[in-house]
Amino acid sequence: MKLLTLNTHSLQETNYSLKLDQFVSVIKEEQPDILALQEVNQSMDAPPAHSDLLSAWVPCPDSVPIRNDNHGAQTALRLRKMGIPCSYTWISAKIGYGKYDEGMALFSLNHKITEVHSFFISGCRDYDNWKTRRVLGIRTDASDDWFYTAHMGWWQDEEEPFSAQWNRLNDALQPKKENGTVWLMGDFNSPSQFRGQGYDQILESGWADTYELAAEKDSGITVEGCIDGWKSYYDSTEAPKGMRIDHIWCSHPVSVKRSRVLFNGNQEPKVSDHFGVMIEI
């Protein structure tokens, strides 16, 4: 089984159309079983999605209507045109950059999504507040496992601290952890090298970092320099040279063949301000 996560930055990226095509080409080549994407957005003023964009869509309760330029829908359409069956779900959590419905998406390649689960992890639930955050999960007809994607706040945030968001997330998933395997993928804004903060809190909650479990691994670095969201915490001279803030966690230790960073400009082109992470079980 292959799992892949990426904070896409999607429509906010320069040369977006080119990067979307490059991204989908790599997905076609790698064919992860589950694809978890964060910052999946759409223009709030775009026309409603046409039927071709919705044929692989599995609705998530309480989500806004999908529009034509929805990054998740456009990704699914391109995959299907390449002959790769997939189903996907998407949910918007907030308004991003003042003009996007911004949320996250999960894709199941070659298998159907059978269940969808979403909930808030932020104390704030105001759609106009950029700090509002939700988590999205799926189960497929190929497995009893649950697969979740998250995009979390920062440890230092006084209004919406990581710690409180994590406690809500972990509590919500506890029943599923007790009854089976849960995978949690995404942008945690928690560098693995920062002790006593978010990364350690996740470990202390009993989750296993698949990067550390992998028999083969690279540097694991998923961001370089000072990206959006970190500029208020570090100036250009203080920004870490690289951070591993995008993670794939499992509810219990598992055997992992390899963990690899994608879309970092080495083997694959950069398509976002984040790099992707893929593991193979």
Q: Model confidence over 242-265: pLDDT tens digits?
A: 899 999 999 999 999 999 999 999
Q: Mean pLDDT, to the nearest integer, of 123-133? A: 97
CATH number at residue 175: 3.60.10.10
Q: Mean pLDDT, to the nearest integer, of 120-146? A: 97
Q: What pLDDT is stored for residue 227 in this prediction?
A: 60
Q: Mean pLDDT, to the nearest integer, of 92-117? A: 97
Q: What pLDDT is stored for residue 250 in this prediction?
A: 99
pTM for the model: 0.95
Q: What pLDDT is stored for residue 228 in this prediction?
A: 59
Indicate if the pLDDT at residue 122 is higher than 70. Answer: yes
Angle between helix 71-81 and helix 16-30 axes, rounded to 10 deg: 50
Predicted confidence band of residue 236 (pLDDT cuts 50, 70, 90): very low
> Tokens at residue 217, please?
């691994």
d(CA 30, CA 28): 6
Q: Mean pLDDT, to the nearest integer, of 225-230? A: 60
Q: What pLDDT is stored for residue 241 in this prediction?
A: 72
List residues bridging with 88 in a β-sheet. 57, 107
Q: Model confidence over 32-72: pLDDT tens digits?
A: 999 999 999 999 999 999 999 999 999 998 889 999 999 99
Strands 214-217 and 256-262: parallel
Q: What pLDDT is stored for residue 169 in this prediction?
A: 99
The H-assigned helical ranges of the chain are 16-30, 51-54, 71-81, 162-179, 198-204, 210-213
Domain boundaries, position 106: 2-280
Portion of the chain with pLDDT greater than 90, in percent: 92
Q: What pLDDT is stored for residue 229 in this prediction?
A: 58
List residues bridging with 17 in a β-sheet. none
Indicate if the pLDDT at residue 232 is higher than 90. Answer: no
Domain count, the chain: 1
Indicate if the pLDDT at residue 121 is higher than 50. Answer: yes
Indicate if the pLDDT at residue 168 is higher than 50. Answer: yes
Q: Model confidence over 207-220: pLDDT tens digits?
A: 999 999 999 999 99
Q: What pLDDT is stored for residue 224 in this prediction?
A: 87
As a whole number, the mean pLDDT across the chain is 94
